[in-house]
Amino acid sequence: MKKRTAKILGWGCLTLLVLGILGFAALNVMMAQGFSAPFLYVSRSPVDSQTHEAWFLMEGFVDRGWVLCVKPSGVRKAFRVASLDFDGEFSFCGAEWSHDGQVIAATIRLPTNEARAIAYDFAQGAKLVPDWSNRSHFESNVLAVVREHGGFSGNFIPEAHMRESGKEIWVWQTPK
């Protein structure tokens, strides 16, 4: 009888320990999610025949910032292109598609001006990310690529609109 009681108590304690560890892990995930829930705004190509998507993801805790991710037509998962915020150096203002829906260009705010400095060309599968030592030259590269695709669409999407229209997502839903 004593062996049986000891066995039951042992298994009961082990079960409580396992449940306690699982509960603690779940609490940590919930706390992390609550403090730094990623925020996502998805913009689809303005051309109906294309299904390209630009994902603007805000993530982080103290240093929350925007990241440009893209999901070309026929690709299953979105992937990261570039960070759109960097403490004190530059911050994200908004984005605009090219007229043919093949290029998404992000506008960033620099200390002295704004620049369309980061883009993704879906037709070439190419990231246009600046060499930060020569910002003015890189903006002209983005503008030249957009010009090849018929110029800008004329529908600038401001960062404030993205904040209003986006949604919070789970940590594991963020692109890698």
In this structure, are 52 and 138 located in the same domain? yes
* pLDDT level of residue 153 (50, 70, 90 thresholds): very high
| DSSP class per residue in 128-173 | E---TT-HHHHHHHHHHHHHHTTSB-S--EEHHHHHHH-EE--GGG
User: Rounded to whole angstroms, what are the CA distances from 103 to 45, 97, 176?
Assistant: 9, 6, 21
pLDDT at res. 8: 84
In this structure, are 25 and 112 located in the same domain? no
Q: Which domain holds residue 31?
A: 1-35
User: Rounded to whole angstroms, what are the CA distances from 128 to 83, 103, 156, 163?
Assistant: 12, 10, 19, 24
Burial of 67 (0-12, 13-18, 19+ CB in 10 A): buried
In this structure, are 111 and 60 located in the same domain? yes
In this structure, are 52 and 24 located in the same domain? no
User: Average pLDDT for residues 125-134, to the nearest whole number?
Assistant: 80
User: Average pLDDT for residues 32-49, to the nearest whole number?
Assistant: 77
In this structure, are 90 and 129 located in the same domain? yes
Query: Above 60 in pLDDT, residue 76?
Result: yes
pLDDT at res. 163: 87
pLDDT at res. 97: 96
In this structure, are 49 and 102 located in the same domain? yes
Query: Above 60 in pLDDT, residue 34?
Result: no
pLDDT at res. 55: 94
Can you tell me the distance from the alpha carbon of 63 to that of 167, in angstroms, rounded to the nearest whole number?
Answer: 19
3-state secondary structure of 76: coil
In this structure, are 46 and 31 located in the same domain? no
User: How many domains does the structure of the chain reveal?
Assistant: 2
In this structure, are 114 and 153 located in the same domain? yes
In this structure, are 30 and 48 located in the same domain? no
3-state secondary structure of 34: helix
More confident of the two residues 137 and 37:
37
Nearest of 86, 112, 109, 96 to residue 161 by alpha carbon: 96
In this structure, are 24 and 49 located in the same domain? no
In this structure, are 49 and 26 located in the same domain? no
Task: Give the β-pairing of 103-109 and 91-97.
Answer: antiparallel
In this structure, are 4 and 82 located in the same domain? no
Per-residue pLDDT reduced to its tens digit, 103-118: 999 998 887 888 888 9
